[in-house]
C-alpha cells in the first residue's frame, strides 16, 4: 500500500473514531473539520485529503441483512501537487472487494462506477473524478454499494454536509 494511503487511513481513523478536540490532538496532520468531513495535510511530500465515514451501513446477503466485521469504511478526495493529482476520489469498504467487481457511487440522480483493487475503489478517469466532485458539491449524500469477496453486498451512505468547504480547504492548501 502506498505511503499516503496508509497515512490517510491512520489519520482518518483517528479523526473519525475520536471526537473533536481529542482527534485533533491525536492526529497532528488534521487541519480542519467541516461538518461531516475532515481535512488533512502531509508536508513531505505535500499531500492534502478530505475524508468522511458513513452515517449508515447496511450489509446483506441473499436478500437478508447480515452482521459482518469490516475495517475502516471511508470516502476520500486527495490532492498531490507533486504528482499533478487534483481531486482524486477513492473509497475503501473495509473488506476485499470481489475480483472484477465495481463499486457503484450514487449521488442524487447520478451514478458512477468505480473499479476495485483489493479493499479500494477509484473512478476510471480524471474526467470521472471531476464529475463526481461536481455531484458531491451539489448533493446531500453519497451511497457506495459494493460486493465483498465473500458475496456480501454493502451499502454505505455518506453525508455530503461540509464537503464543499472541505474540498475548498484541501485544494487551497495543496494548490500548485
Per-residue pLDDT, averaged over 125-133, amounts to 95
In the predicted structure, residue 1 carries a pLDDT above the cut 70: no
Residue 139 C-beta-side C-alpha neighbours within 13 Å? 20
* Sign of the dihedral defined by the CA atoms of residues 8, 175, 31, 165, in that order: negative
Tell me what pLDDT residue 105 has.
Answer: 98
Name the percent of the chain lying above pLDDT 70: 84
* Sign of the dihedral defined by the CA atoms of residues 96, 36, 23, 39, in that order: positive
CATH at 44: 2.60.40.1880
* Sign of the dihedral defined by the CA atoms of residues 106, 152, 116, 7, in that order: positive
The structural domain count of the chain equals 1
φ, ψ for residue 166, nearest 5 deg: -65, -45
Judge whether 166 and 50 are in contact, CB under 8 Å.
yes
pTM of the model: 0.85
Integer Rg of the chain from CA = 15
CA–CA separation, 93 vs 173, rounded Å? 27
In the predicted structure, residue 145 carries a pLDDT above the cut 50: yes
Tell me what pLDDT residue 44 has.
Answer: 83
Return the closest-CA partner of residue 88 out of 52, 47, 51, 129.
129
- Reported as a single tens digit per residue, the pLDDT across 13-48 is 444 443 333 333 345 789 989 999 999 999 888 899
Segments forming the whole domain that contains residue 91: 3-173
Return the closest-CA partner of residue 29 out of 6, 12, 17, 54.
12
Amino acid at each position: 500500500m502506498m505511503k499516503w494511503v496508509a497515512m490517510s487511513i491512520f489519520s482518518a481513523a483517528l479523526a473519525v473514531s475520536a471526537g473533536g478536540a481529542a482527534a485533533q490532538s491525536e492526529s497532528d496532520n488534521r487541519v480542519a473539520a467541516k461538518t461531516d468531513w475532515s481535512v488533512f495535510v502531509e508536508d513531505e511530500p505535500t499531500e492534502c485529503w478530505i475524508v468522511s465515514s458513513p452515517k449508515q451501513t447496511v450489509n446483506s446477503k441473499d436478500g437478508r441483512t447480515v452482521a459482518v466485521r469490516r475495517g475502516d469504511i471511508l470516502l476520500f478526495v486527495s490532492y498531490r501537487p507533486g504528482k499533478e493529482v487534483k481531486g482524486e476520489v477513492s473509497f475503501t469498504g473495509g473488506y476485499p472487494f470481489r475480483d472484477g467487481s465495481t463499486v457503484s457511487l450514487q449521488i442524487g440522480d447520478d451514478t458512477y462506477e468505480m473499479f476495485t483493487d483489493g479493499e479500494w475503489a477509484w473512478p476510471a478517469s480524471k474526467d470521472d473524478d471531476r464529475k463526481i466532485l461536481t455531484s458531491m458539491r451539489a448533493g446531500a449524500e453519497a451511497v457506495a454499494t459494493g460486493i465483498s469477496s465473500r458475496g456480501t453486498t454493502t451499502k454505505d451512505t455518506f453525508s455530503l454536509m461540509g464537503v464543499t468547504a472541505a474540498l475548498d480547504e484541501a485544494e487551497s492548501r495543496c494548490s500548485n
